[in-house]
A = this chain, B = another copy of it.
């Protein structure tokens, strides 16, 4: 009997998670909406760009760290928010926060972890908070003030959930979120509008507010005009509107209208260090990774999250060296080109 193959890529972790998780839980995390066209498109989008590496630039030891809203991250990949993490491993959101802290990067924690706020505050690492606005605005205002008091560094407001996406795997599996994992009083308001942004900023205790779920230049322009502090270009991991664009494909038009006024992040389909480089070369300040961290958590809890982030960090460093980028600031538009035939 041969030893199990080592887990050397984030895809290795995905395969391992498939082994350890009950299928319906795996499907809940892995799946997307509808026919999962957008889920697959998120990956295809990265394959439509090639890197144009530069040589002889003494970049063998690149500096990979970045600064976002005054917080340093060891490399330009953050953990994306996702809900009900205790379903895949008892460590849950706490394991994610601790794993990210060990890797030196920011974990963005989901609203669904509200009841873990005290424990999360003890984690010695940079943390952001993902926000769904509840129909009960007082509940939301209270959440925001607690989050600020617990040392979170930014609010990431999810704006692409006016309705819940049609997750067909869950429908077929008869899957339902375990009630115990849903915080009391928790809910989301599908009728939110741009006017809610002012309200959130008012209650955010001075924390920067990013809008997550923007896919068009039109909405990016509105976000800037309405005072957003940052944007996460995202299709919610392909879990909301099937047939929507990949985040990476929407990124250039967002970057164009934002024109450097606020940071723009992107998520959806990031699986390797070269993916991170492509997103940054197209203008993103950083990326968010969701499922890879989830697979790390599923396979080995906090250690798994840390290891997945270590893999990505090493891949980013290697790709920067091979691209001739000594610093993240050197990852510029000349580094990418549309792949032939794409």
Chain A residues at the B interface, C-beta cutoff of 8 Å: 5-6, 8-9, 11, 34-35, 37, 41, 44-45, 47-61, 159-160, 162-163, 165-166, 168, 171-172, 174, 190-194, 196-197, 211, 213-216, 218-219, 222, 240-246, 249-250, 272, 274, 277-278, 314-315, 317-319, 321-324, 334, 337, 339-342
Contact = CB atoms under 8 A, between A and B. Distances in A.
Nearest to A195: B56
A159 B54 CA distance: 10
A242 to B, nearest CB: 6
A135 to B, nearest CB: 11
A219 B55 contact: yes
7 contacts: A5-B172, A8-B172, A51-B241, A52-B244, A240-B322, A246-B340, A341-B341
A244 B58 CA distance: 19
A216 B53 contact: yes
A299 B298 CA distance: 40
A214 B324 CA distance: 12
A75 B94 CA distance: 45
A8 B168 contact: yes
Nearest to A341: B342
B160 A341 contact: no
Nearest to A12: B172
A84 B224 CA distance: 57
A277 B58 CA distance: 36
Given A34-B272, A172-B6, A340-B249, A54 B163 contact: no
Given A55-B162, A242-B272, A249-B340, 10 more contacts: A9-B34, A44-B341, A55-B159, A56-B159, A57-B162, A58-B192, A61-B190, A162-B324, A163-B322, A241-B322
A34 to B, nearest CB: 6
B274 A160 contact: no
A45 B168 contact: no
A161 to B, nearest CB: 8
A174 to B, nearest CB: 8
A50 B243 contact: yes
Contacts of A322: 160, 162-163, 165, 240-241, 244
B48 A244 contact: no
Given A166-B315, A341-B342, A216 B274 contact: no
Contacts of A211: 55
A269 to B, nearest CB: 13
A159 to B, nearest CB: 4
A85 to B, nearest CB: 24
Nearest to A194: B56
A324 B219 CA distance: 11
A192 B56 contact: yes
Contact of A54 (B51, B216, B240, B323): B216
Contact of A60 (B162, B278, B318): B162
